[in-house]
């Protein structure tokens, strides 16, 4: 539905992160829904102790920069923003918007 809204209203949307089950594992994932219909996903890297213990969430393994018509976008989810190296990695990949 958010992807359809991005196309209909001609906007790019970064949806809030949510738990996603893949291959028997649970991840915390944020989506970038682009106005052209493209859908990109960023997995949370640094999982909190609560997420590990109570929700059994696994962490992703890399940060990505996504090309959009508004510039190059990087996404940090919640606790990930507490780790400066992730922002540095996004900057090195050319992120203009984080």
Please indicate, yes or no, if residue 97 is contained in any of the structural domains: no
Quote the domain boundaries for residue 51.
2-92
> Dihedral through CA 83, CA 46, CA 27, CA 75, nearest 10?
10
Number of domains the chain is built from: 1
Please indicate, yes or no, if residue 18 is contained in any of the structural domains: yes
> What mean pLDDT comes out for the span 31-49?
98
What does the pLDDT read at residue 77? Answer: 98
Residue 1 has pLDDT above 90, yes or no: no
Please indicate, yes or no, if residue 98 is contained in any of the structural domains: no
Residue 82 has pLDDT above 90, yes or no: yes
- Burial pattern 32-56, b for ≥16 Cβ within 10 A else e, equals bbbbeeeebbbbbbbbeeebeeeee
CB 48 within 8 A of CB 65: no
Q: pLDDT averaged over the chain? A: 97
């Amino acid at each position: 539905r958010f992807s359809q809204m991005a196309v209909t209203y001609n906007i790019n949307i970064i949806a809030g992160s949510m738990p996603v089950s893949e291959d028997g594992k649970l991840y915390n994932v944020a989506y970038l829904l682009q106005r052209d219909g493209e859908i990109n996903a960023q997995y949370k890297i640094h999982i909190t102790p609560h997420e590990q213990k109570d929700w059994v969430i696994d962490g992703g393994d890399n940060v990505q920069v996504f090309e959009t018509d508004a510039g190059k976008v990087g996404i940090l989810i919640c606790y990930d923003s507490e780790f400066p190296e992730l922002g540095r990695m996004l900057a090195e990949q050319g992120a203009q918007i984080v």
